[in-house]
């Protein structure tokens, strides 16, 4: 009889990508061991559905409502989603009846995990951030084991439950060839390259500062900019305006040195990490561990309204390994460019890169998969 594992979570890429990384590691382990394995992902949204389909993992959608700690009209709508999602989860749980559940956090993981525990199914959860979200704080009380990425998250869970393991990474992101990457993005190998990541949903403040800095940046560097699908048309139009205004001055620099993408698929993202000399990013737990695995100096710009200010806490913990933290209120084009130039200084670059790399834990997905697949 097949060993069944239910994986649940969803929302942003920070929840989805680690979930898929663990699912792929589980499939590899089962194949190596000659073990019959059935996986099912329960979650909400097109983003997780696409990721599951791309990885050939069965997926069932459930409705989820967000438990906001502030007033919003969306909360009224979400109140009606919660009981529907609960009964959807109950239905899928009854027919799949897993041997173990792995939850990545987010509100989509609540109903499946709670229902699973009512059947006495072992629950394992993973927390990517240094300050856990509300869903994982609730599920931590029910979980057999809480995998954590940051040591500082340990204090939020019952003593003895946590295992410091890092963040599950997609293997396609690690160890791509730099020459191949430079060729793929049609870059000049003699120039330094900056990679700007706005997350799966884009980052307005980062996009704004890049537009404000664009003319100055492309005079000195090449720029790969992942701006988010919702903001792509706006950013492209603004860049086109700069090109038109800069004919005969800086237009050619933008055309030659600027690469704009709404979203980087996994193969593209792996190549972008390889091509880059410096990274600029938000400081979600998933992003930080991908960056550390790439071993490149990074400028982190935490989002100001993250839950419990967890992005700033993540960034500060990573800064002990050489990451630069710039808070949004202190961000100007000249400060950004000065930080880029400082990180690229030959005397600093190799040391910072080596320190950044020591933060990485590239085997997290494999270790979680080993635990899940042997818990019987």
DSSP string, 30-48: HHHHT--EEEEEEE-SHHH
Segment 349-360, tens digit of pLDDT: 999 999 999 999
Same domain, 213 and 256: yes
Same domain, 84 and 116: yes
Is 4 marked within a binding site? no
- Contact, 281 vs 287, CB < 8 A? yes
Segment 184-203, tens digit of pLDDT: 999 999 999 999 998 666 68
Looking at the structure of the chain, the number of domains it has is 2
Is 292 marked within a binding site? no
Same domain, 160 and 13: yes
Same domain, 94 and 24: yes
Per-residue pLDDT, 305: 72
Q: Which two tokens stand for residue 210?
A: 């890049």
Same domain, 136 and 68: yes
Contact partners, residue 4, CB within 8 Å, separation at least 6: 37, 38, 39, 40, 96, 97, 98, 99, 100
Per-residue pLDDT, 202: 62
Print the domain residue range for 180: 172-358
Same domain, 228 and 257: yes
Per-residue pLDDT, 146: 98
Does the pLDDT value for residue 338 go beyond 80?
yes
DSSP string, 285-338: HHHHHHHHHHT--EEE---TTSGGGHHHHHHHHHHTTT-EE--GGG--HHHHHH
Is 14 marked within a binding site? yes
Same domain, 127 and 239: no
Per-residue pLDDT, 348: 83
Q: Which two tokens stand for residue 44?
A: 């909400």
pTM: 0.90
Per-residue pLDDT, 288: 94
Is 202 marked within a binding site? no
Say how far apart CA 104 and CA 179 lie, in whole Å. Answer: 35
Same domain, 148 and 195: no
Question: Which one, of 184, 192, 193, 66, lies nearest residue 134 by Cα?
Answer: 66
Same domain, 214 and 226: yes
Say how far apart CA 362 and CA 289 lie, in whole Å. Answer: 8
- Residues 300-314 as b/e (b if ≥16 CB within 10 A, e otherwise) read bbbbeebebebbbbb
Same domain, 207 and 328: yes
Q: State the pLDDT confidence band at 314, using cuts at 50, 70 and 90.
A: very high
Q: State the pLDDT confidence band at 345, using cuts at 50, 70 and 90.
A: confident
What mean pLDDT, rounded, does the chain reach? 91
CATH (domain of 102): 3.40.50.2000
Per-residue pLDDT, 149: 96
Q: State the pLDDT confidence band at 346, using cuts at 50, 70 and 90.
A: confident
Does the pLDDT value for residue 204 go beyond 90?
no
User: 260: part of which helix (H) or strand (E)?
Assistant: strand 258-261
Per-residue pLDDT, 374: 86
Does the pLDDT value for residue 230 go beyond 70?
yes
> Residue 240: is it exposed, middle or buried by C-beta count within 10 angstroms (0-12/13-18/19+)?
exposed
- Give the CA dihedral 48, 52, 54, 55, nearest 10 degrees: 140
Is 13 marked within a binding site? yes
- Contact, 127 vs 154, CB < 8 A? no
SS3 368: helix
Is 12 marked within a binding site? yes
Q: With the C-alpha atoms ordered 336, 340, 345, 347, is the resulting torsion angle positive or negative?
A: positive
Highest mean pLDDT among 47-56, 115-124, 167-176, 243-252 belongs to 115-124
Which DSSP category does 230 fall into?
A: G
Segment 43-97, tens digit of pLDDT: 987 788 888 999 999 999 998 866 655 556 666 677 777 888 899 999 999 999 9
- Contact, 60 vs 93, CB < 8 A? no
Is 291 marked within a binding site? no
Per-residue pLDDT, 201: 62
Same domain, 314 and 208: yes
Q: Please tell me the chain's helix, strand, coil percentages from 3-state DSSP, rounded to the nearest 5.
A: 55, 15, 30
Same domain, 100 and 178: no
Say how far apart CA 148 and CA 166 lie, in whole Å. Answer: 6
Segment 131-165, tens digit of pLDDT: 998 899 999 999 999 999 999 999 999 999 999 99
Per-residue pLDDT, 113: 97
């Amino acid at each position: 009889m097949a060993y069944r594992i239910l994986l649940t979570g969803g929302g942003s890429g920070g929840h989805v990508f680690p979930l898929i990384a663990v699912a792929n590691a589980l499939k590899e382990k089962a194949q190596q061991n000659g073990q019959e394995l059935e996986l099912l992902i329960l979650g909400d949204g097109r983003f997780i559905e696409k990721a599951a389909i791309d990885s050939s993992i069965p997926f069932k959608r459930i409705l989820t409502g967000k438990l906001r700690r502030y007033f919003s009209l969306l909360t009224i709508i979400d109140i009606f989603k919660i009981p529907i999602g609960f009964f959807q989860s109950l239905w899928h749980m009854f027919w799949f009846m897993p041997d173990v559940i792995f939850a990545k956090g987010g509100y989509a993981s609540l109903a499946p995990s709670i229902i699973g525990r009512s059947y006495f199914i072992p629950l394992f959860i993973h927390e990517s951030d240094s300050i856990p979200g509300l869903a994982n704080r609730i599920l931590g009380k029910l979980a057999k084991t809480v995998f954590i990425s940051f040591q500082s998250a340990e204090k939020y869970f019952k003593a003895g439950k946590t295992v410091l393991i890092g963040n599950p990474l997609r293997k396609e992101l690690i160890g791509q060839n730099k020459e191949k990457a430079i060729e793929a993005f049609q870059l000049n190998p003699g120039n330094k390259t900056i990679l700007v990541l706005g997350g799966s949903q884009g980052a307005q403040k980062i996009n704004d500062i890049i537009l404000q800095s664009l003319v100055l940046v492309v005079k000195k560097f090449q720029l790969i900019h992942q701006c988010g699908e919702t903001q792509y048309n706006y950013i492209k139009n603004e860049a086109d305006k700069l090109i038109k205004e800069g004919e005969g001055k800086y237009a050619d620099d933008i055309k030659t040195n600027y690469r704009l993408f709404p979203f980087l698929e996994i193969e593209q993202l792996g190549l972008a990490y390889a091509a880059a000399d410096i990274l600029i990013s938000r400081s979600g737990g998933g992003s930080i561990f991908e960056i550390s695995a790439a071993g490149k100096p990074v400028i982190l710009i935490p989002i100001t309204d993250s839950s419990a200010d967890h992005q700033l806490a993540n960034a500060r913990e990573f800064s002990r390994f050489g990451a630069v933290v710039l808070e949004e209120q202190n961000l100007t084009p000249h400060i950004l460019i000065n930080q880029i130039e400082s990180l690229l200084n030959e005397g600093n670059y190799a040391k910072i890169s080596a320190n950044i790399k020591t933060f990485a834990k590239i085997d997290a997905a494999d270790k979680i998969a080993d635990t899940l697949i042997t818990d019987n």
